Amino acid sequence: MSIVVSVLKENRGHEKRVALDPEVTKKLVKNDFEVLIEAGAGKLALFADADYEKAGGKIVDRQTALTQGNIVVVVNEPGDDTLAALKSGQIIIGLLSALLVPDKIQRLADAKVTAISCELLPRTVSRSQAMDVLSSQASIAGYKATLLASNLYAKYFPMMITAAGTVKPAKVLVLGTGVAGLQAIGTAKRLGTVVSGYDVRAASKGEVESLGATFLTSTVANGAGTGGYARELTTEEHQAQQAELAGFIAQNDIIITTAQVPGRKPPLLVPQTSVDQAQAGTIFIDLAASDLGGNVASSQPFATVTTAQGALIVGASNLASELSNSASQLFAKNVQSIINAFMVDGAIQIDPTDEVFKGLLATIDGEIINARLRKIMNLPDLAEPKVAEGVH
């Protein structure tokens, strides 16, 4: 019996991506999977239903995809009705926001649905890199953030020497130099700007400087945390950080902020005082803007705010979706890598003791298994789980 992979159409606003593209569909079919695609799922990513059919997939309605899929793949948490339709033994893969909606994950556990929530991936394990959805999408967001800033900025980005005179290059400051930040820095540098990068993780210095940018030293002694993220700062450290950043911000024309950790409120890097002091034409691009808040005071998700002084604050909440075709291709390859990792001799065999899946899994066999998720749900630590076998 073939294992069925179902691809659902995204139903969240501002979302243009799809979880599988025709190329990965073709590879899955070649490996004896049956792939069902909800009609129109890839339209906003420029993948027609005919493209999937040519790749060997089958176009079906949403109900068929939900009921027949052994593995259901999505980009985002699909909503209560869809989650309620999933049955015991099914696997759902996507950015399920497990740390933000633990009640929904508990319902999946109660229904004995295996939930693979991609943002839980332990990113420091080397073999997990091919599965890293957050990194692939953050890279796209960082690239797009710089292009968006250049489009909104009322001056040249590079130095321009003309018969009429010389125009100075724009100054770009990137706050947070993880995957998104480094891509923003690299793109801004290629566009001819003067670029600086700031991070509380000292290890970022070499990466920033390798891109030709200036690394701004932080007074926070060691801001590195676990899982490849910066740790949460103390109140005193946060105040010191804001004070030093205020001076850096005032010296730059473009400020791109990228600091976010799944399941937590983003740190406020640009306080209201810095926003109020920003000169006309200053552009803030806040990649962390969300319903939980953002890195920039006054930022709003999916909205652009103009200050009284004429600065722009762009709540760039889902920039990866703006490059929906490329983003979907990378997302699909991440999903394929996850599926490949739990396939053994043509059967689904998820090992919850594996160092990658121990972090990646939210639920399995009716149990909340992820340690971070259990902690925020005030659940006791679990004993070492056993290997669970699935569909053959």
Tens-digit pLDDT profile for residues 71-87:
999 999 999 999 999 99
Q: Which of 88-102, 193-207, 328-342 has the lowest mean pLDDT?
A: 193-207
**What is the helix (H) or strand (E) element at residue 246, kind and residue range?**
helix 235-250
pTM of this prediction?
0.92
Provide the pLDDT confidence category of residue 94 given band limits of 50, 70 and 90. Answer: very high
Q: Which of 97, 129, 242, 349 is catalytic?
A: 129
Mean pLDDT for 96-114 is 96
Q: Which of 62, 123, 128, 196 is catalytic?
A: 123
Q: Is 229 a catalytic residue?
A: yes
For residue 63, give the nearest of 32, 39, 80 by alpha carbon: 39
Q: Which of 90, 128, 135, 326 is catalytic?
A: 135
Q: Which pLDDT score, from 0 to 100, does residue 243 have?
A: 78
Instruction: Quickly count: other Cβ atoms within 10 Å of residue 246's Cβ.
Output: 14
Answer yes or no: are the C-beta atoms of 188 and 197 closer than 8 Å: no
Q: Is 129 a catalytic residue?
A: yes
Distance, CA of 100 to CA of 168 (rounded, Å) = 44
Q: Is 317 a catalytic residue?
A: no
Tens-digit pLDDT profile for residues 290-327:
999 999 999 999 999 999 999 999 999 999 999 999 99
Q: What are phi and psi of 58, to 5 degrees?
A: -120, 130
- Domains of the chain by range and CATH? 3-131+328-389 (3.40.50.720), 137-322 (3.40.50.720)
Tens-digit pLDDT profile for residues 17-37:
999 999 999 999 999 999 999
The answer to whether residue 330 scores a pLDDT higher than 60 is yes
Cβ-based neighbours of 99, under 8 Å, separated by 6 or more: 119, 120, 262, 263, 264, 372, 373, 376
Query: What is the chain's Cα-based Rg?
Result: 22
Q: Which of 21, 49, 132, 253 is catalytic?
A: 132
Tens-digit pLDDT profile for residues 244-267:
788 899 999 999 999 988 778 999
Pairing mode of beta strands 214-216, 304-306 = unpaired
Q: Which of 136, 229, 324, 326 is catalytic?
A: 229
The answer to whether residue 182 scores a pLDDT higher than 50 is yes
Q: Which pLDDT score, from 0 to 100, does residue 104 have?
A: 96
The answer to whether residue 242 scores a pLDDT higher than 80 is no
Q: Which pLDDT score, from 0 to 100, does residue 387 have?
A: 53
Q: Which pLDDT score, from 0 to 100, does residue 246 have?
A: 87
